[in-house]
Amino acid sequence: MIQLPDVEQLLQQMEADLRQTLARRGVTDPVMVGIRTGGVWLAEQLNQRLGLSGPLGELDISFYRDDFSRLGLNPRVKPSSLPFDTEGRDIVLIDDVLMSGRTIRAAMNEIFDYGRPASIILAVLMDLGKRELPIQPDVTGQVVSMAPNQRVKLRGPAPLRLELRETSE
């Protein structure tokens, strides 16, 4: 049985790493975008902790998923909301769990439909190391390796905690 990390500790880790990364890249005025739903909760936290003044972007990637042709449309789709001009901006993209990388691909495709950003920095709470696409996070709370039948999910919005589920396959 894996011991799941504490979300608060990971957030502190992410905050510190993000500050470093932004400084290294010379990004002074980033906008933060969370991927629904877990990524949005984390983005709210990080936005506050980094003291960013701007509004938060929320992405619902249902219209960009590459498994539409297998599963059909997610019936719980909500409008995405990027309440700022993304053209030429530095975007910090936040997600909770990075697995195959497909969600991030969909999210980047969606972001580009709003305009051409200057850069995208990817920050994730957990990286399960099961990549199927050449996508790497810039900031990672923790790398965790899990058995094939195990799934981890972020529960929230308050308190934020991680939950482990085992599938039958």
Partner 1 sequence: MTAQDTSTTSLQLTEEGQLRHFLTLDGLDRALLTDILDTADSFIEVGERSIKKVPLLRGRTVVNLFFESSTRTRSTFELAAKRLSADVLNLDINTSATSKGESLSDTLLNLEAMASDMFVVRHSQSGAPHFIAESVTPGVAIINAGDGRHAHPTQAMLDMLTIRQHKGRFEGLKVAIVGDILHSRVARSQIRALQELGAAEVRVIAPATLLPRSVEALGCTVEYDMTRGMKDLDVVIMLRLQKERMEGALLPSEREFYRLYGLSREKLALAHPDCIVMHPGPINRGVEIESAVADGPQSVILDQVTNGIAIRMAVMSMAMGGQMADRNRQSLERKVL
Question: Per CB under 8 A, which region of 21-29, 40-48, 89-97, 107-115 contacts partner 1?
Answer: 107-115
Element (H, E) at 119: strand 119-127
Which residue number, 76 or 165, has a Cβ lying nearer to partner 1?
76
* Sequence-ordered list of residues with C-beta below 8 angstroms from that of 104, at least 6 positions apart, any chain: 93, 95, 98, 122, 133, 135
Please identify which residue in 71, 147, 158, 165 interacts with partner 1, judged by CB under 8 A: 71
Whether the link from the prior residue into 55 is cis, omega within 30° of 0, is no
Burial (0-12, 13-18, 19+ Cβ within 10 Å), 75: exposed
Residues β-bridged to residue 124: 95, 140
Stretch that binds partner 1, among 4-12, 13-21, 22-30, 110-118 (CB under 8 A): 110-118
Interaction between residue 77 and partner 1 (CB under 8 A): yes
- Binding residues for partner 1, total number by CB under 8 A: 24
Interface residue with partner 1 among 54, 55, 88, 115 (CB under 8 A) is: 115
Q: Tell whether residue 134 is a contact of partner 1 (CB under 8 A).
A: no
Cβ 105 to partner 1 shortest distance, Å: 11
Which residues ranging from 38 to 67 are in contact with partner 1 (CB under 8 A)? 60, 62-64
List contacts with partner 1 (CB under 8 A): 60, 62-64, 68-73, 75-81, 87, 109-110, 112-115
